[in-house]
Amino acid sequence: MLADRLKTLAPSSTLAVQAKAKELRARGIDVISFGAGEPDFDTPRRIKDAAVEAMQRGQTKYTEVGGVPELRAAVCAKLKRDNGLDYEPADILVSVGAKHTLFNLVMALINPGDEVLVPSPYWVSYPEQVRLLGGVPVAVPTQEATGFDLDPGRLAAAVTPRTKLIVLNSPNNPTGAVFTPGALAAVARLAVERDLWVVSDECYEALTFEGRHASIASLGPEVKARTIVVNTCSKAYAMTGWRIGYAAGPRALIRAMTDVQSQVTSNPSSIAQWAAVEALTGPQDEVAKMAGEFDRRRRLIIDGLNALPGVRCVMPRGAFYAFPNVSGLFGRTWRKADGAVSLESSLDATAFLLEEARVAVVPGRDFGSDAHVRLSYATSDALISEGLARMAAALATLR
């Protein structure tokens, strides 16, 4: 019945973990979830007020496909203010979240058989979107010892005549890496020399705790001319449900992505667009406040994880994820009610933590590393502490 392209599609495992935790809770089982990739804060009041006001003004109709001019101008002002980048509204496309932005990009750029370099571990949707459209994602490992910094040498070695695009994501989901200026500069040179496109997913920019966020597009006009900068209102402004993401890049490519969007979704919600104008142009102090809170929780959870036997975790420098290595648990025996099981993979570790600790985490396998699991610390101190205590108690039962 289904199209061939569906044969390889994996549904989002992060959303699957959230659904599983919700289902257990509905059955009365008290699960602490570290699965969600969204801030636990509410959207700031000024942004909600702007949405209400837009509705009252009658901003409830179709808009320009790529976003109202005021929002595209607000995106240009943001990119100038925060990233030192010059764009015009015609270089901007606003979409239904950055996930949609990225899909428009792959649709507009990738032919069947084209190779896309994806530094690994990676966010689960990059390889899936590429595969869905017949492209070939090529995972290029980064090293835990460098805090998962980009590895320009390995990227260079992975380039073939079919390579078309490199996917960068800093701060990184799931590792929390903030790529170093030297590595970014080397990848910029590689892209220019080998005539590659670059997509720079900067969705976690506002949550940079160590190092400084730099967009690769700001490293010079040659690399900017082949880079698509992608960002979102989801994480910085706690607006995941509003679905506003955007891209800035070379005009011809933005136009092609807009044409794709014109045949698939048309404009993103008019009301959410006006909320986004306020988010991007209004006072930015809540952003720093939320980031400060995440930074504090980061230390709490990483210290706690490193105190667990068989678990070690590098200190993430950005985003709101911990990506502990759990391979120290492999080979240990989990005595389940229906028989003993040896833990051998991130899936086993995830199942063990869910059943024995009632703690939901996401298996690293889907992010490209079976030695790790991912925890989101966008949750309260009390739940982080309780979750860590439960994990410690469960790990003490392993043989």
Ligand X SMILES: Cc1ncc(COP(=O)(O)O)c(C=O)c1O
Q: How far is the CB of 254 from ligand X (least distance, A)?
A: 17
Whose Cβ is closer to ligand X: residue 169's or residue 369's?
A: 169
Whose Cβ is closer to ligand X: residue 31's or residue 98's?
A: 98
- Angle of helix 98-109 relative to helix 251-264, nearest 10 degrees, comes to 110
Whose Cβ is closer to ligand X: residue 18's or residue 327's?
A: 18
Whose Cβ is closer to ligand X: residue 12's or residue 284's?
A: 12
Q: How far is the CB of 193 from ligand X (least distance, A)?
A: 27
Residue type present at position 175: T
| Rounded distance between C-alpha atoms, residue 244 and residue 277, angstroms | 10
Q: How far is the CB of 101 from ligand X (least distance, A)?
A: 7
Q: How far is the CB of 379 from ligand X (least distance, A)?
A: 15
Query: CB burial class (10 A; 0-12, 13-18, 19+) of residue 79?
Result: buried
Q: In this structure, what DSSP letter does residue 356 have? A: I
Tokens linked to 135: 């492209």
Give percent helix, percent strand, percent coil of the chain, each to the nearest 5.
45, 15, 40
Long-range contacts made by residues 333-337, C-beta under 8 angstroms, separation at least 24? Answer: 333/398, 333/399, 334/397, 334/398, 335/397, 335/399
Q: How far is the CB of 215 from ligand X (least distance, A)?
A: 15
Question: What Å distances lie between residue 68 and 73, 88, 271, CA to CA?
Answer: 9, 13, 11
Specify which residues 362 forms β-bridges with: 374
Q: How far is the CB of 119 from ligand X (least distance, A)?
A: 12
Whose Cβ is closer to ligand X: residue 99's or residue 390's?
A: 99
Q: How far is the CB of 120 from ligand X (least distance, A)?
A: 13
Give the interface with ligand X as residue ranges (CB under 6 A). 37, 97-99, 123, 169, 173, 201, 203, 232, 234, 240, 245
Strands 245-248 and 321-322: unpaired
Whose Cβ is closer to ligand X: residue 87's or residue 122's?
A: 122
Whose Cβ is closer to ligand X: residue 278's or residue 348's?
A: 278
Q: What are phi and psi of 200, to 5 degrees?
A: -115, 100
Whose Cβ is closer to ligand X: residue 91's or residue 201's?
A: 201
Q: What are phi and psi of 71, to 5 degrees?
A: -75, -40
Specify which residues 95 forms β-bridges with: 245
| Rounded distance between C-alpha atoms, residue 74 and residue 252, angstroms | 21
Task: Give the residue among 231, 238, 230 at the shortest CA–CA distance from 197.
Answer: 230
Q: How far is the CB of 253 from ligand X (least distance, A)?
A: 18
Whose Cβ is closer to ligand X: residue 120's or residue 173's?
A: 173
Q: Tell me the residue nearest to ligand X as measured from the CB.
A: 97
CB 352 within 8 A of CB 394: yes
Q: How far is the CB of 287 from ligand X (least distance, A)?
A: 15
